[in-house]
């Protein structure tokens, strides 16, 4: 029996593992970086050791610091969680040498499965079909480039050999820009996994992504806990996972499951793992094996009723499977949605900042490591939470997922919730026919924000008024405070009722005018359309019960400086308050400015003052949340200012490059 377990990770997975340990009577401790000192996972576990600075290479990937933490807290076992060191054989060996129990496969199995090429070799040895490509991995950019140019046929895909989660992946469709793509993938691989080596594979354009949850005793016996489908991906990053798979031919499904179990038994697999396949044209191809607990383990738990963390711990403690294959059954359908701090309208750029409001739906399973006041930093993965919904059948699971999304409130950063809502409502997703390239093909449609109605805009204005104290404290004709501009423009009292302007996400500016206001009953007009709003109840924390015309709804309101976030039944709307004095300021003032889209670290600066550039030239490469973003010139011109250098940590909207247009000079 484990007496005390050190959970060597961060965020929601620490909270998840801790929950099972509490039910099993296992004491726990965890670790944290300087940036995570006051995080939810630290307070949830109740005992944590600081192991280094914010960058993961100095903390969560620091083997010596983690082993020292285990000794300090008196742990006799270490659970690596998900990501970081969970697939590192060197870490597993170090844990064993320290006399501690490692919760995961043996170092030998990690070497055979933790590396993508090694895993493909194991699959090929037992006759499981694999995807063609390079014979091994390489950290030599020249060798990778030679292989692609000389030996392989385009398109191909670069993958981090130690990778996962879509990190270090690039599709190569043409040879132009090949060198930079290789270098970019290697940088991202090194940042995410501590290794830069890549493999090259043939690119299968449209496939289903099917994975099998397996468990083994380490002595040659393995079972499966059925399969999951993870076809809904964006740039190889899973977005939605579900169990079981959808519409898969039963004979093919059984063959995939048998191959997964056969592969696990061939290497004497121990504890939990996931064997992943691509399915195209009626055939399956081994993709990789993840020798650890998966992010999407939750949907398997929902349909089987088995606590996978408990299963993992019991196998590690007892050296045997506590359950036989015949006892594993499946009922219903489960869907998991990954909620990320990212801005779909800005190319899914990570969104950093303080969460000013976090509310999840009651009755839904939510796995998270954040709360109101938590900080989304640029150092770690952008996932905020996982929303898991279960139904008797898939249609019910989708409806419950949509309801959970609509009832989730995240304010302070941008999120992918509007994108997820649109995705789940598309016909291919509802029908279960979407493949792993569906999102990338339809991305322009899927990222279109839900535009607010005139009633939504009026409600935002009314709640802004209420947030400032309403007529009882501020008064519509006040000469001071954030809303003073309602009453005074250029020092003169305006004619007619007070007004404000709000800008929508598509840059439409709507004028809101306040008419009669009495006892929190407001008469407003939005571009001439009359709306009557009554603020019935202010519940605190930005939550209001309001009557909009004849409808009574619950609205969540959040304001940060001049940005207003409104959550209503129709969706989430972000509006920007525009003072009158700013309405006449044209975009020319910032036309040539390249701003940092997110907080992050500068990896590359490709220009200096005086250089001439063309629109769309890559000027700066920034990294945030282990993701690289190439920042390009907004126009033709000459660089007049460079405000960053390699290694700088920049804030969101910080001026990086300024370009002076040169009319006719670039022709």
CB 463 within 8 A of CB 555: yes
CB 234 within 8 A of CB 340: no
Task: Report the distance separating Cα 550 and Cα 545, nearest Å.
Answer: 13
For the stretch 277-280, contacts whose Cβ atoms lie closer than 8 Å and that sit 24 or more positions apart, written own/partner, are 277/209, 277/210, 277/211, 277/212, 278/131, 278/204, 278/207, 278/208, 278/209, 278/210, 278/436, 279/207, 279/208, 279/209, 279/210, 279/248, 279/252, 280/204, 280/206, 280/207, 280/208
CB 33 within 8 A of CB 392: no
For the stretch 469-478, contacts whose Cβ atoms lie closer than 8 Å and that sit 24 or more positions apart, written own/partner, are 470/520, 470/535, 471/517, 476/514, 476/517
Q: Output phi, psi for 60, to 5 deg.
A: -70, -10
253, 292, 394, 422: the active-site residue = 292
**H helix or E strand, kind and range, residue 121:** helix 116-125
- Per the structure block, which two tokens stand in for 338? 């990954």
Q: Coil, strand, or helix at residue 101?
A: strand
Task: Report the distance separating Cα 549 and Cα 556, nearest Å.
Answer: 18
Where are any strands of DSSP class E within 118-169? 156-160
The verdict on whether 292 is a catalytic residue reads yes
What sign does the dihedral 135-213-16-435 (CA atoms) show? positive
The three-point CA angle 43-13-207 to 5° equals 155
Residue count of the chain, please give it. 667
Candidates 400, 354, 402; CA nearest to 377 is 354
Task: Report the distance separating Cα 2 and Cα 425, nearest Å.
Answer: 46
Task: Report the distance separating Cα 546 and Cα 520, nearest Å.
Answer: 10
Residues recognised as catalytic: 292
């Amino acid at each position: 029996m484990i007496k005390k377990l050190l959970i060597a990770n961060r965020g929601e997975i620490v909270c998840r593992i801790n929950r099972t340990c509490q039910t099993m009577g296992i004491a726990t401790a965890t670790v944290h970086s300087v940036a995570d000192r006051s995080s939810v996972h630290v307070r949830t576990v109740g005992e944590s050791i600081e192991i280094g600075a914010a960058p993961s290479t100095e903390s969560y990937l620091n083997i010596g610091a983690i082993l020292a933490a285990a000794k300090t807290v008196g742990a006799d076992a270490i659970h690596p969680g998900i990501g970081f060191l969970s697939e590192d054989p060197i870490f597993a060996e170090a844990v064993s040498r320290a006399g501690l129990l490692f919760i995961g496969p043996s170092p030998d199995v990690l070497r055979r499965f933790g590396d993508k090429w090694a895993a493909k070799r194991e699959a090929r040895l037992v006759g499981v079909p694999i995807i063609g490509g390079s014979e091994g991995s390489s950290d030599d950019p020249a060798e990778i480039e030679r292989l692609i140019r000389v030996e392989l046929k385009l398109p191909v895909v670069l993958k981090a050999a130690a990778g996962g989660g879509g990190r270090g992946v690039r599709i190569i469709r043409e040879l132009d820009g090949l060198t930079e793509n290789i270098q970019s993938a290697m940088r991202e691989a090194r940042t995410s996994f501590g290794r830069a080596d890549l493999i090259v594979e043939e690119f299968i354009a449209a496939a289903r992504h099917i994975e099998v949850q397996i468990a083994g005793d380490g002595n040659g016996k393995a079972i499966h806990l059925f399969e999951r489908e993870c076809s809904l991906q964006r740039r190889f990053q899973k977005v939605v996972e579900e169990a079981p798979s959808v519409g898969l031919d039963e004979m093919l499904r059984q063959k995939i499951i048998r191959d997964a179990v056969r592969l696990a038994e061939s290497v004497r697999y121990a504890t939990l793992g996931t064997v992943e396949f691509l399915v195209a044209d009626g055939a399956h191809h081994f993709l990789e094996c993840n020798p650890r607990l998966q992010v999407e383990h939750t949907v398997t738990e929902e349909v089987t009723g088995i606590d996978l963390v408990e299963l993992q711990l019991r196998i590690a403690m007892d050296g045997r499977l506590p359950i036989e294959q015949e006892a594993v059954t499946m009922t219903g359908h489960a869907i998991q949605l990954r909620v990320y701090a990212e801005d779909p309208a800005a190319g899914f750029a990570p969104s950093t900042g303080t969460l000013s409001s976090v509310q999840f739906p009651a009755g839904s399973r939510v796995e998270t490591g954040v709360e109101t006041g938590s900080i989304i930093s640029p150092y770690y993965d952008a996932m905020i939470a996982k929303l898991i919904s279960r139904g008797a059948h898939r249609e019910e699971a989708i409806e419950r997922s949509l309801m959970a999304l609509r009832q989730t409130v995240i304010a302070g950063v941008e999120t992918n919730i509007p994108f997820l809502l649109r995705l789940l409502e598309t016909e291919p997703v509802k029908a279960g026919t979407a493949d792993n390239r569906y999102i990338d093909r339809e991305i322009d449609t899927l990222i279109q924000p839900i535009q607010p109605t005139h009633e939504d805009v009026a409600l935002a204005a009314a709640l802004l008024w209420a947030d400032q104290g309403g007529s009882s404290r501020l008064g519509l004709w006040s000469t001071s405070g954030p809303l003073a501009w309602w009453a005074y423009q250029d020092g003169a009292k305006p004619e007619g009722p007070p007004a404000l302007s709000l800008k929508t996400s598509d840059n439409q500016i709507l004028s809101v005018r306040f008419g009669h206001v009495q006892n929190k009953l407001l008469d407003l007009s939005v571009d001439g359309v009359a709306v009557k709003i009554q603020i019935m109840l202010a519940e605190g924390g930005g939550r209001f019960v309001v009557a909009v015309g004849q409808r009574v709804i619950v609205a969540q309101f959040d304001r940060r400086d001049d940005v207003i976030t409104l959550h209503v039944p129709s969706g989430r709307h972000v509006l920007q308050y525009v003072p009158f004095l700013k309405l006449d300021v044209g975009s020319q003032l910032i036309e040539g400015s390249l701003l940092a889209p997110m907080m992050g670290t500068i990896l590359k600066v490709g220009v200096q003052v005086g250089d001439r550039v063309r629109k769309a030239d890559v000027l700066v490469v920034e990294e945030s949340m282990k993701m690289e973003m190439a920042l390009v010139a907004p126009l033709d011109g000459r660089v007049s200012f460079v405000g960053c250098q390699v290694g700088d940590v920049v804030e969101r909207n910080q001026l990086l490059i300024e370009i002076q247009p040169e009319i006719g000079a670039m022709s």
